[in-house]
Amino acid sequence: MSVETAAVSGERERLLKAFRSGRGATDALAAEASEALRRSWPDNMPIDEVARDELLGELLRSFSVFPVWLERAMTHRRLALLFSNPRPVLEPLAAALAIQCHLNEYAWNEDPAETERVDSLAANLETLTPFEVMVLACYRPLGRLEGAEVLLTRGWDGPVRQVLDEQIVTVREEAAIAAALPALTPVRSESSQAVQAQYEANPYPRWRRPGLASVRTHIHGRTLPPGMMVLIAGCGTGRQAIQSAMMFPGSHTLAVDLSRTSLAYASRKTRELGLNHRIVYAQADLMEMQADAQFDMVQSAGVLHHFADPFEGARRVCRMLKPGGLLALGLYSARARAHLGPAKALAKTYTPQTVRALRQAIINLPENDPARRSVVASRDFYSTSGCRDLIMHVQEHQLTIPDLRRMLDENDLTFLGFIQFEFEDIRKAYVAKFPHDPTGRDLDAWEAYEAERPGTFGRMYQFWAEKRA
Ligand SMILES: C[S@@+](CC[C@H](N)C(=O)[O-])C[C@H]1O[C@@H](n2cnc3c(N)ncnc32)[C@H](O)[C@@H]1O
């Protein structure tokens, strides 16, 4: 074995272990795994070899795959499966692709010959073999096909069973959970209803593995009270609430959202992870919630910028914090998102029903086209919900550091620091430029820093603040 081959296989072993241990199931792991596949696959890797690749299998079952080259490679292998004779060696790939496509909500390109074959499989559910069911599930969500229950009566085991569980059994469970969820408030305003409709159709974020969070007993030197009450304001599909429960082991959490489908996914995954005694989910419009000064900590990531008025939203959310309580906010940065403008302009000519076509139009643009370059680098681009969230949101505001200052002032909040300051490269660069501020709390300095490095808050402005007692 050459030194290079040994290094590649050592790297793959390390990544496989990381997936299987459940530790570090993060976006960074997904990026490393995609890169390891790129380095180790020859051009035109035969499909049998692809099907035997365990690292690929783990990746397909865990994250929406990216970047474009891997999506294309998988789209081609899916087409090959659709027109292949069934062979046992292909079954794990068919199952993993079915789970992947359900996870990314069938975002990949489909040509007319595929559509014709898939429609014919869907019209003959009664007669399908397990392999054909898995292949069909790579193109259509089984749970939405009429008569799909019949597949559960077959007593099939092995890879197809995992696909039936994922696409029919858990989807039914979620529908039952959604129907039984408590509603703490009505959803009355037109603006909340429009946002709700988007997330009912496309719950966000799409995830299967929560990743692990390290336990914290302090935030910026503040000791966290035992039995702390946490509000997750706009919890989406629950990953944030689950990570928070892992991070703060003594805490109790109320997690609310407008979208019942998101909450149902969150609740099912929370049970699966054994955290249901620590997190209560409920539907609520944060604009209507009455829970003044009840929480020791409020976390709201990626939510307030979708309100009709984010400042009014901040007032509603902040008044639920106890004096001395801690707030974690995540808000879009206008500077960091300016580069999405061309893609958003293109997206205006598409609808929520044509996200797949929009994605293809973007992928097919020249590599350097500003409407392509800006979005294919984002993980959100690789699922239907993520793509809608990224470039075709029904209501979105973008903020600046002076806006953050206004929010802090209006709500009696002391700024404790950006989460980005915990990243070594950012901290070093910031402190080198602003040695007068070694703790990273000077918002004027941050404004100057961001002007020079507009990508700093690419995910969002994410920061902790404290409600003054
Ligand atoms: C981008 S997602 C973020 C989800 C989650 N915080 C996370 O980071 O994973 C935004 C969520 O905010 C919820 N949301 C928006 N406006 C809301 C409101 N007025 N009341 C409650 N939830 C709201 C949406 O339904 C959606 O699930």
Is 287 close to ligand 1, i.e. is its CB under 6 Å away?
yes
* 262 within ligand 1 shell (Cβ under 6 A): yes
Whether residues 302 and 158 share a domain: the answer is: no
Ranges 20-24, 228-232, 305-309, 334-338: which has the least confidence:
20-24
Please say if the pLDDT value at position 1 is more than 70: no
Judgement on whether residues 171 and 215 belong to the same structural domain of the protein:
no
Q: In percent, how much of the chain has pLDDT > 90?
A: 93
**Residue 8's pLDDT band (boundaries 50, 70, 90)?**
confident
Are residues 323 and 341 both part of a single domain?
no
Mutate to test the pocket of ligand 1, among 185, 191, 192, 195 (most ligand atoms within 8 A of CB): 195
pLDDT bucket at 23, cuts 50 / 70 / 90 = low
Note whether 238 and 326 are same-domain residues: yes
Number of domains observed in the structure of the chain: 3
Structure tokens at 126: 């009664």
Whether ligand 1 lies within 6 angstroms of the CB of 202 is answered as no
Assess whether 206 and 259 both reside in one domain. Answer: yes
Looking at the predicted structure, is the pLDDT value of residue 323 above 90?
yes
Report yes or no on 211 lying in a domain. Answer: yes
466 lines ligand 1 (CB under 6 A): no
pLDDT of residue 4: 57
**Closest residue (by CA) to atom 1 of ligand 1?**
302
Summarize the confidence of residues 231-258 as an average pLDDT.
97
359, with CB counted inside 10 A (0-12, 13-18, 19+), is buried
Closest atom of ligand 1 to 236 CA is: 27
Q: Which domain holds residue 236?
A: 190-333+398-467
Ligand 1 atom with minimal separation from the 330 CA: 8
Chain mean pLDDT for the chain: 96
Q: What mean pLDDT do residues 205-213 have?
A: 89
- The answer to whether residue 459 sits within a structural domain is yes
CA of 394 to the centre of ligand 1 (A): 13
- Cα of 398 vs centre of ligand 1, distance in Å, is 15
> Counting beta carbons within 10 angstroms of the beta carbon of residue 441, is it exposed (0 to 12), middle (13 to 18) or buried (19 or more)?
middle
Residues 153, 275 within the same domain: no
Band of the pLDDT at 437, cuts 50, 70, 90? very high
Specify the pLDDT at position 24: 60
- Let me know if residue 185 belongs to a domain: no
24 and 102 fall within a common domain: yes
Reported as a single tens digit per residue, the pLDDT across 368-394 is: 999 999 899 999 999 999 999 999 999
Report the atom number in ligand 1 closest to the C-alpha of 198: 25
| Spatial CA neighbour of 103 closest among 384, 351, 359 | 384
DSSP states of 194-247 = HHHHHHHHS-SS--S--------SEETTEEPPTT-EEEEES-TTSHHHHHHHHH
> Is residue 33 situated within a structural domain?
yes
The edge-to-edge listing of strands for the beta sheet with 252-257 is 279-283, 252-257, 229-233, 295-301, 321-331, 461-467, 413-418
Residue 422 included in any domain: yes
Q: Are 369 and 357 within one domain? A: yes
> Is the domain of 314 the same as that of 352?
no
> What length is written for the chain?
469
Report the atom number in ligand 1 closest to the C-alpha of 203.
27
14 shares its domain with 163: yes
Listed residue (165, 175, 164) closest to 134, CA to CA:
164
Domain termination site, one of 127, 151, 175? 175
- Residue 118 domain-assigned (yes or no): yes
Which residues is 122 bridged to in the sheet? Answer: none
Ligand 1 touching residue 289 (CB < 6 A): no
**183 in a domain, yes or no?**
no
Whether 286 is in the pocket of ligand 1, judged by its Cβ within 6 Å, is yes
Domain stops at, among 152, 175, 198: 175
CB of residue 234 inside a 6 A radius of ligand 1: yes
- 84 lies in the same domain as 135: yes
Strands 321-331 and 461-467: antiparallel
